Amino acid sequence: MAKKSAADDPLAPVTVAVGQEELLLDRAVQEVVRAAKAADADTDVRELGPEQLQPGTLAELTSPSLFAERKVVVVRNSQDLGADTVKDVKAYLAAPAEEITLVLIHAGGAKGKGLLDAARKAGAREVACPKMTKPADRLAFVRQEFRATGRSATPEACQALVDAIGSDLRELASAVSQLVADVEGTIDEAVVGRYYTGRAEASSFTVADRAVEGRTAEALEALRWSLATGVAPVLITSALAQGVRAIGKLSSARGGRPADLARELGMPPWKIDRVRQQMRGWTPDGVAVALRAVAEADAGVKGGGDDPEYALEKAVVTIARAARSRGR
């Protein structure tokens, strides 16, 4: 889990998020953006990479405004900034502008260490987001995810979830959200076993993700593993439905900011970013076709057809084709 410095004010003039765990880095940014928007709903959020932050760009973004607007400037992969731009950032660190929060995303390590050292020396708020390579760290992450929702999960359930899902924090966070949404009361090992039997790649969520990304062969492989290891077909249709509906919801709300969309659509902010990546090949007609395919598969696995496995395969293929409908 991300560790924060003692000066834990998301609206500190400068925040540095250090590490390579993408989910934690994204959450560090989202925390700052949420705090800024709570202070001023019209906060302007700018995200730039090294190729966009050229010498002089930071000065333009942080120059005083006639309207004194609050602004969040996020610099991703700051370890890759050019030497002249690093000089600009260091100069800014010495005298940060009011009503502006600068967020530097840094991978850590030797590359770009001078900039990171300068930020620390300037008193920047720091959020550590190290890659979680140890099972114990991932277990602690799952426990914290359940606590954050206000729900109770047994230690055995948390361990079973880590064993089933593996090392991907986004998958773990998604699994916790799914269990919390679908299961009442304390979540125990038996519940996790029903949802996530077998290896991580065989989970119903993986089937859905590969399908909505248009990756037909991988989706079918994951589907066959899921069925072979005992995942209930109804759980797979549920995951497919959620994946397609998320695409449809975000397509109709395109253009909003992640934090605003998260509140509007009832999704975690990190999922907004993920669905945005998945929806690139989709069209409204494609969403409609995919939803019909899910409905037919749902009927097929609930007794309306003779072969539930065939119904699921047909749905997966149809959804994957719909995901590539743009431009055909």
pLDDT digits (tens, 9 = 90+) for 87-129: 999 999 999 988 899 999 999 989 999 999 999 999 999 999 9
At a CB cut-off of 8 Å and minimum separation 6, what does 306 contact?
none
Mean pLDDT, residues 77-82 taken together: 94
Output the CA torsion 218→220→221→227 (10° steps): 140
Percentages helix, strand, coil for the chain (3-state, rounded to 5) are 60, 10, 30
Please provide residue 72's backbone torsions phi and psi, each rounded to the nearest 5 degrees: -115, 125
What pLDDT score was predicted for residue 254? 56
pTM: 0.59
Mean pLDDT, residues 27-41 taken together: 93
The whole-angstrom separation of Cα 81 and Cα 76 is: 9
Is residue 268's pLDDT more than 90? no
- What percentage of the chain carries pLDDT values higher than 70? 87
Beta bridge partners, 187, equal 153
Mean pLDDT, residues 69-75 taken together: 91
pLDDT band for 202, please (50, 70, 90 cuts).
very low
Mean pLDDT of the chain: 86
Q: At what angle do helices 308-323 and 216-228 cross, to 10 degrees?
A: 160
